Structure 1
């Protein structure tokens, strides 16, 4: 929009400024609309909800300690067990609610095949919680590789 002056002494030039009046009018209208509608949007219904005062039942999770020695002999909570008995015990423990956690403690020289068979029969029976118990190794075993793993890692079975 070009504005002129009353004195025509110089060349006419255009003034390029933003007209703020319409913008301010629109903002004021929006502000009034929001002020009016805001209390209408926050409506609530008051109801009396019953309060529960019971304590949750805390159950001690049962664990099964399965030890496997270097010769492949298995021990269920320190009692010797055969592989056939082991399968039956896995099925009986899988039927319990909540299921106990099976913790496998194997000798350093136990064959992987034996451990794989134990884990697969536990999974086939339906046990879902499986853990491994290890003990800290010496500094030589740590440098040698994963045989000297530290801590008691618990891994979920798929």
Structure 2
């Protein structure tokens, strides 16, 4: 994020996927036939967002969280997770690099919303095995079921 100065600060960086996801407002929707009926998956009372008039699904933002694409995709292509504030999905995008540092792969180009502050602090889990089939995340205070029951469930029948 060289040469980026906003609000008098110059120590901006690309957010991790957990940091980027903290901006998500999941009570929104996309109407691809008429974006004036759409609400971006972002707290737009604080952050700007405009739908592309030709491609309403175009709203991808980079994160710094990387992975190696493999399997059915070309092996050893560097990818990065991103969030699409237009349609509300975490997705993966090719960065244009191979993990050996060479280039030549298509980089689709994504938007970028910079962040500042210490990296890897937000969203770092502090898991504790409580025994008895539960795990607590001391970072959030949430207690989790440790092992699923192995069955699928209809959500309307689940006790939520």
Give the TM-score normalised by structure 2: 0.22
Q: Write 1 or 2 for the structure with the bigger share of strand.
A: 2
Query: Whose helix proportion is higher, 1 or 2?
Result: 1
Structure having greater relative contact order (Cα 8 Å, sep ≥ 6): 2
Structure with larger Rg:
1
- Report the TM-score when normalising by structure 1: 0.22
